[in-house]
Amino acid sequence: MDIGGSLDKRPGTKKEKRLGIHETLNVAAWNVRSIGNKESELVEEIKTKGINIAVISETEKKLKGTKMIGNYTMLYSGVSQETRAQSGVALIIDHKWTSRITDYSFVNDRIISVRLKTNRGHITVIGVYAPEEGREEETRRFYKQLQKEVDKYSKSDSLIISGDLNARVGNQPIPNVVGTFGEDGINRNGQTLREFASFNDFKIANTFFRKKEIHKYTWSARGFKSIIDYVIVNRRLKNLVQDIKIFRGSDIGSDHFLVTCRINLLSRWKQQSNNSRLTNELVYKIYLLQEESIRSLYQQRLAKTLSEYPMASTIDKEWENIKTAIKKAANEAIGTKTKYRRKKGLRIWNEEIRNVIANKRTAYQIYLQNPSEENFETYKIRRNIAKTIVSKTHKESWDRFISRIETDIFGEQSMAYKVLKHLNRTNKDTIEISNIEDQK
């Protein structure tokens, strides 16, 4: 329960109608301890929990860019190619909210941000991964840069800061900033975060919800536990945060637990989306024309169809006849297929991986319920099996991809050229995010 007073959750209440609650935004924070080959598994877990926007920290993914994983868009920001893999932060956004992106920024390997359109203005989400306790100079630079990002956003925006802050803020209350349901301890990073939140009038949401001890902590290892992963909101969202949950059973091979936050957004008007680029469409199988026999068949069908049309009286009518003939000949000779939008990249998720991940997750949940040495060993065995199979499938997928490249090198070389061009970039955008501002 939110001591600061949360909205009445009963549907159709006078308060709900008065405020015009329209939709729920589910935000998450998760330190994954290197994203590696876990991307598909991670998205599957995010999808299962109904998360719209997830902040992923300590990805150890180099460079910066965008990519599709299933129906989710990942924006990631990391260190340079020459630097040893470390830190790294990412945002994973479902297709519904991807269509609302108006702007995004790769700040550095510890901060990333995205701005999205809502039915009542905009919402800015800043994903963070703060330096560990004891790195005072790094921490000072981190908060200096974070403050710059906060100063950039419009004061009319709703703002969310989420991620691994490596800070223990304690349970000594600061009105509307820090609640009484945090942990007992506080460290130097925690004091810095308290000061940062107080200065900006932000609410550290985790500390305002009473939870059982086992569901309070976001990190646990070697017999120690603490709250260091947070969801922080500005004044506009303070009373709209409905709950914070810690999912101990979600396993990604990390000593951090999945943190989720449910926010009820307000609505003033509804907008009809005309974003047809997200829908699938039928396209002709143009690649079949590379075969001589099919190309000859298409040419014959096209010539026959064109001969059936009489000479048109106007240029416009003649053009319509030509288009109709081309489409008819294409349908007969090469046919159509469904083009699935925005699913670029290696697709390795299959039934075998799904099963071994499910077995690993089951073993992890059994261990959480009964943390014996035997159950831990069972979990480790299943975790290693899952890791081996995912790595093997990933390698096989790359081998197939490389084989296609090698074939293309001795052909038209169009694919090889695109890959080489992509490898030379430091910004690895494998998808095009069309900002909704550009669609007006």
pTM: 0.67
The pLDDT of residue 361 is: 85
The pLDDT of residue 205 is: 97
Question: For the segment 121-169, what is each residue's pLDDT rounded down to a tens digit?
Answer: 899 999 999 999 999 999 999 999 999 999 998 888 999 999 999 999 9
Residues linked to residue 243 through DSSP beta bridges, in sequence order = 262
Q: Are the CB atoms for 104 and 115 separated by under 8 Å?
A: yes
The pLDDT of residue 61 is: 95
The whole-number average pLDDT for the span 289-293 is: 83
Res. 415: pLDDT tops 80: no
* Closest to 160 measured CA to CA, from 211, 212, 209, 197: 197
Task: Please state, in angstroms and rounded to a whole number, the distance separating the CA atoms of residues 241 and 194.
Answer: 19
Q: What is the mean pLDDT of the chain?
A: 84
Task: Please state, in angstroms and rounded to a whole number, the distance separating the CA atoms of residues 278 and 99.
Answer: 8
The pLDDT of residue 336 is: 85
* Closest to 77 measured CA to CA, from 93, 62, 92, 67: 62
In the chain, the amino acid numbered 285 is K
In the chain, the amino acid numbered 432 is E
Q: Helix axis angle, 136-152 relative to 188-200, nearest 10°?
A: 20
Res. 357: pLDDT tops 50: yes
Among 133-137, 248-252, 303-307, which is the least confidently predicted range? 303-307
Res. 201: pLDDT tops 80: yes
The pLDDT of residue 41 is: 93
Res. 14: pLDDT tops 60: no
Q: How many helices (H) and strands (E) does the chain have?
A: 10, 18
Question: For the segment 264-290, what is each residue's pLDDT rounded down to a tens digit?
Answer: 998 764 444 454 444 567 778 887 887
Residue 438 pLDDT level (bands cut at 50, 70, 90): very low
The pLDDT of residue 12 is: 45
Q: 161: which 2 tokens?
A: 């800061």
Using CB atoms within 10 Å of the CB of residue 103, give its burial: 0 to 12 exposed, 13 to 18 middle, 19+ buried. Answer: middle
The pLDDT of residue 293 is: 87
For the chain, list the domains and their CATH numbers: 14-266 (3.60.10.10), 281-339 (no CATH), 351-439 (no CATH)
DSSP state of 213: G
